[in-house]
Chain A
Amino acid sequence: MSKMNVKMTVNGKEIESLSEPRTLLIHFLREDHKLKGPHIGCDTGHCGACTVDLDGKSVKSCMTFVGQANGANVTTIEGIANPDGTLHVLQEAFKEHHGLQCGFCTPGMITRAYRLLQENPSPTEKEIRYGISGNLCRCTGYQNIVKAISMAAQTLNTQEAAE
């Protein structure tokens, strides 16, 4: 079976590899390009720990072959912080409101929340819970995650209004 040339823009940088077609996007990111932010929790599409942003949509990278993502624009948790290195409002909010315990789900959770707030900048609590329903957390009981996302939404909206 022949290898294929895979090219993607990941966190604003063009990256390329010669990959076996059966390589999953999560392995391409973690193993080939050492982006260890997205995690492998379940490997079956349920937990969302592997969530990345692909062409403006949240997807589970354990359920995507590299070929399917060839040519795409991908953002992982490594690309969420501000260009000057300071934390993104969502990351600050997770820190501030104790939106994590062990942190295993956090990269997927924040990457999903990042997209959710672009789809719906002022979500209700119910909409947040539904919006992150593809991301499981075994530690927090979700309460503080929901709170963090909600607070981040408010901060982002205030910042935008000020601009």
Chain B
Amino acid sequence: MIPGSFDYHRPQSVSEAVGLLKDKGDEAFIVAGGHSLIPMMKLRMSTPEHLIDIQDIAEIKNISIFGSDVTIGAFVTQAEIISSEALHGICPVLREASLQIADPQIRNVGTIGGNVANGDPGNDMPAIMQALDATFVLAGEEGTREVKARDFYEAAYFTARAETEMLTLIKFTAPAAGHGSCYMKQKRKIGDYATAAAVVILTMNGTTVQNVEIALTNVADTPLYAEEANRLLIGTSLDDASIKAAVEAAKAITDPADDGRGPKDFRTHIAGVMVERAIRQAATTAS
């Protein structure tokens, strides 16, 4: 499978990349790792006339942590997220989830920016970014603007990013020290997108849930932030009845497609199973 022809560009700065995006309009695409884009180009579902490779842009390649404020550059790879001890120390769910994305070779190349900007409901990072209440920084010709991960996803492959904007940074505040977390993903094999997956970030106050953030992957057109499920769990002692109520509330917002991963009802059922397991697992790591 041979992709369509294009001209290749390798800008050295964000402003140069943004300038190219503006000049070339909707004929230009950013390529980060290319591990979502190249398959689409091989299928000719994507036929950009210009590819803008952002690998040389130094300002989007770092993970920086000040206290609990975390900033991750768009060009940080999944492998770099896995190997960052500092990041793992304050937000272990990112390593846990990254290890469930594809395989070692893909993780060496795939970037977090590509994963969240892509807009494919199968991508694992968007739901986690919603659970973390992350902010995406978008650079355009008029400067930068910020969009919350919870407001970013509109439909499959449609996001709040304009075609002339580039995602540069992802920012979030690490969950409180002592929080528990889990990313539970059911997939058919290594390298498969989720049949359904759930992220849970849980803060306890003694035996009572002080805060919880649940979000779901690949059971709708977009990642799903499970607001009602969160509300039902906060203030409870994580008793079986409360967990069941939260699971039902999470299932209620799903709308998965029938596909090779199973019929709609099955995938909604699995979403519920993932939510329950993730809650129970997160509870074991919370203190």
A-side residues, CB < 8 A to B, are 1-2, 4, 20-22, 24, 43-46, 48, 51, 57-60, 63-65, 67-68, 70, 112, 116, 130-131, 133-134
Contact = CB atoms under 8 A, between A and B. Distances in A.
Nearest to A48: B105
A44 B8 CA distance: 21
Contacts of A2: 7
Interface of B: 1-8, 10, 31, 34-35, 38-39, 41-42, 49, 51, 53, 55, 79, 102-106, 108-109, 190-191
A64 B51 contact: no
B5 A1 contact: yes
Given A45-B106, A64-B34, A134-B104, 13 more contacts: A21-B7, A21-B8, A44-B39, A48-B103, A51-B105, A59-B109, A60-B109, A67-B10, A67-B53, A116-B104, A130-B104, A131-B104, A134-B105
Contacts of A58: 104-105, 108
A20 B190 contact: no
Given A20-B5, A22-B2, A134 B10 contact: no
Given A1-B5, A21-B5, A51-B105, A134 B191 contact: yes
A4 B103 contact: no
B43 to A, nearest CB: 9
A60 B105 contact: yes
Contacts of A116: 104
A51 B103 CA distance: 12
28 contacts: A1-B6, A1-B49, A21-B5, A21-B51, A22-B2, A22-B3, A22-B4, A22-B5, A22-B6, A22-B41, A24-B38, A43-B42, A45-B106, A48-B105, A59-B109, A63-B38, A63-B39, A63-B106, A63-B109, A65-B31, A65-B51, A67-B51, A67-B53, A116-B104, A131-B104, A133-B190, A134-B104, A134-B106
Contact of B108 (A1, A4, A57): A57
B144 to A, nearest CB: 26
Given A4-B8, A21-B7, A63 B53 contact: no
Nearest to B4: A22
A134 B42 contact: no
A108 to B, nearest CB: 9
Given A22-B4, A68-B53, A59 B108 contact: yes
Contacts of A60: 105-106, 109
Contacts of A133: 103-104, 190-191
Nearest to B99: A130
B252 to A, nearest CB: 34
A63 B35 contact: yes
Report the 8 A-B pairs with minimum CB-CB distance, sorted nearest first: A134-B103, A21-B8, A67-B8, A1-B5, A57-B108, A134-B105, A133-B190, A133-B103
B53 A46 contact: no
A1 B24 CA distance: 14
A135 to B, nearest CB: 8
A112 B53 contact: no
Contacts of A20: 5
Contacts of A70: 10
